[in-house]
Amino acid sequence: MKNDFFITGLFYELNELKCRKYMNIRKKGTELEIPDLLVVMMNPGKSKPIDGIDNNNRETEAIPDQTQNQIMRIMINCEFEYARILNLSDARETSSEEFYQMIPQFESEKIAHSIFDNRRKDDLEIFLVKDVATIFAWGVDNALTELAKTAIEKIETKNIYGIKKEKTEFAYYHPLPPNSHKQKEWVEKITEQIKTA
């Protein structure tokens, strides 16, 4: 499956943090110049630049992780050719628990780690894709509530898909739940939402 896609990202460092502004997943051979799918997730996990340069000023080829495989499955099922992934936070941290603990520190030190931060209007203007199918998939931990709320306010589209946790307003299940059955179920449910919209 990965051989059918070209995966790139813009990697950079902020306050000694390894970060990523966005990731693009393009179907090989596509002529699209603007993404036809936007996915908003929690933060970049295991994905990293192939060239090993963590602080770059240009888009470079990237190694995907299992979460991106889930997005590729959606792309295949729904015939999308070009997906862009934005995150609630640009901080590359593989452990969700570690990341949750970092959020209050980012806030207290006033680090603009989120593309949805008001101080990053220019980035958002450049990289946010409007009026395309948009999947919310950042997870359901309460630590994400404020980041998620801000993101939803900034993303002005009605084409929203995602599996919302019951009795919550801002919590959408992540594409890579703990077991393979639930992972398959996530793909099936999102596929059905998009195809029946």
CA distances (Å), 2 to each of 63, 76, 121, in order? 10, 11, 32
Average pLDDT over residues 68-81: 97
In the prediction, which pLDDT does 3 show? 87
How many structural domains comprise the chain?
Answer: 1
Sign of the dihedral through C-alpha 131, 10, 7, 23: negative
Domain enclosing residue 27, as ranges:
2-195
For residue range 7-37, what is the model confidence (pLDDT) as tens digits?
999 999 998 899 999 999 999 999 999 999 9
| pLDDT at residue 65 tops 90 | no
Residue 9 and residue 26 in contact, taking contact as beta carbons nearer than 8 Å: no
d(CA 173, CA 121): 27
The neighbouring-strand residues paired with 24 are 8, 84
User: Is the entire prediction scored with pTM above 0.85?
Assistant: yes
Which strand (E) or helix (H) includes residue 182? helix 180-195
Q: Is 146 exposed, middle or buried (0-12, 13-18, 19+ CB in 10 A)?
A: middle
